[in-house]
Chain A
Amino acid sequence: MKCSEVEGWISDFVDNELRGEREEKVRAHIEECGNCRKLYKLELSTKDLVKSISSTGSPAGLRERILASITDADTSVQDDEKIIKPLPWVWGFVSKRSVTFATAAVVLIFAAVFLYVTGIFGGLKISPFIDSVYAYHAGPSGIELNIQGGYEQIQKELSNHLQRKIPVPSLDDINFKVEGANAGLKMEGRHCAVVRYESDKEKFSHFVICSTDVPINKLPGIKGKPDFRYTSRNGINMVFWTCKATKTTRCVALKCPMDELVEIVEQIRRRSREMSKK
């Protein structure tokens, strides 16, 4: 094994990630080669240094505060199971942005929602990891990934997300279903839609709120009557059409459970109504 090759494996070697022949070769090389041994020692001490800054234990009382908060959670669920809790990040999102919304002409918040759903709307099963929000902004305050690659990027995201479970089919194999409840909804000159990714070959579904350059009903593939309708628990009517999304349609993603999705949609609509009044 050459030095340049060994250099590339040193992190893996230090982290005990190499197996079999490669591990042996790297080990043998490090034993023989003084320079690589130094690099190895350097890597090892770096790892040890990081280890050394780990603090000891959590602050006093934190454990008790956590226990108190979960007891509270149990009580509030009992008291009021049906109420959808306000979403702090949504409020923050809207209030922080209100100035930006009003002033900046180019704030494009591309929001999309991944929902990990098994079955169609019958039994919603939501993974605990999907209920967090991944907001990808093209706007000035967005520090998250900025997805500008259109559906290819979304596909990549999906693939990252699902790679250990299901291979993501090619775009041509995916039907896009566009939700019509937001048809015509304008966000800074753009339109929003909720798109459901679906594949007959693979069993998974995702919801994505996306912004498009054209009104929803003008999206390619939107024709005639919707495929089906769905009314959410808090009364938002969603209408789905089958449609083929264009590759130029840009969208970005939020991940959240159905409750939050509905809440987001509602927020966006409210926001949009306020905007149109002005």
Chain B
Amino acid sequence: MSAASVKKMTDSKNGKKQKEFEETALVHLDLLYNSALQMTRNPQDAEDLIQETFLRAYRFFDKFERGTNCKAWLFKIMRNNFINQYRKKAKEPARVDFDEIENAYIADIKEVLSDESRGDIEKIFNNMVEDDIKTAVESLPDEFRMAIILSDIEGFSYQEIADIAECPIGTVRSRISRGRKFLQKKLYDFAKKKGIIKADK
């Protein structure tokens, strides 16, 4: 067999693989980019992360079990990539003492909820600007942020998130529940600062 005909054969094989990859994996590009952006907090890093993720996925595409959840598979690869590459570079937010926040939060929020004169909590949240929400989400520790993004933005179930993050489902529950409390506390603080909520009567 001549070198040219070998090349031709390989080309057509690769062409088929590429086409399947485009149809199965690359269709999730927008979703993945979205999460990559929230994870890396930076468009350039998000783009790099996405490129590496798809390149890796392509290299291992033969190992992807056809018919299983490709989106979850891609997220798993992306999460691993993210942890390996970006978490080292990214400035880690200061360690969060969740117990402390939870206690402070519960005190604050309960007070707000029980006192109608301070305003309706939904109204407060409706008045949140996108930047504040983004800042709050970005300040979550990586694993918490990831769990919340996967759940709220991507619509994965707790079990799927556990598979992606390679952790027990109980850990996912706790990350989401505590992460949300953390967000609520942050947003509540923003609202207070901006005078949407009266600090004191």
Contacts and interface: CB of A to CB of B under 8 A. Distances in A.
Interface residues of B, number: 68
19 contacts: A10-B177, A11-B177, A12-B173, A17-B157, A17-B173, A42-B113, A45-B121, A49-B183, A53-B133, A63-B29, A66-B54, A70-B18, A70-B55, A71-B18, A73-B55, A128-B60, A129-B77, A160-B168, A161-B166
A132 B81 contact: yes
Interface in B130-145: 130, 133-134, 137
Nearest to B183: A46
Contacts of A163: 168
B26 interface: yes
Contact of B43 (A42, A59, A63): A59
A59 B168 CA distance: 34
Contact of A127 (B29, B63, B84, B153): B63
A71 B137 CA distance: 36
Given A42-B109, A74-B18, 16 more contacts: A15-B157, A45-B121, A45-B122, A45-B126, A49-B187, A50-B153, A53-B130, A53-B137, A57-B30, A58-B33, A62-B51, A71-B18, A89-B84, A127-B63, A128-B77, A129-B76
A38 B113 contact: yes
A247 interface: no
B50 A62 contact: yes
Of the candidates B21, B29, B37, B84, the one having the most CB atoms from chain A within 10 angstroms of its own CB is: B84
Interface string A22-65: 00000000000001001101110111011111111111001101
Contacts of A67: 18, 22, 26
A143 B92 contact: yes
A134 interface: yes
Contact of B83 (A62, A70, A132, A164): A132
Contact of B87 (A35, A51, A127, A144): A144
A66 B26 contact: yes
**Chain B contact residues, majority secondary structure:** helix
B146 to A, nearest CB: 12
A66 B153 contact: no
Contacts of B38: 53
B198 interface: no
A118 B101 CA distance: 45
A38 B21 CA distance: 46
Interface in B23-80: 26, 29-30, 33-34, 37-38, 43, 47, 50-51, 54-60, 63-64, 73, 76-77, 80
Interface of A: 8, 10-12, 15, 17, 35, 38-39, 41-43, 45-47, 49-59, 62-63, 65-67, 69-71, 73-74, 78, 89, 127-129, 131-135, 141, 143-144, 160-161, 163-164
Of the candidates A65, A66, A71, A73, the one having the most CB atoms from chain B within 10 angstroms of its own CB is: A66
Nearest to A49: B133
Contact of A128 (B26, B64, B85, B151): B64
B51 A65 contact: yes
A27 B177 CA distance: 18
Contacts of B59: 73
A131 B53 CA distance: 12
Contact of A42 (B58, B126, B184): B184
B54 A70 contact: yes
B85 to A, nearest CB: 7
B84 A38 contact: no
Nearest to B171: A160
B153 to A, nearest CB: 5
A15 B121 CA distance: 20
A78 B43 CA distance: 32
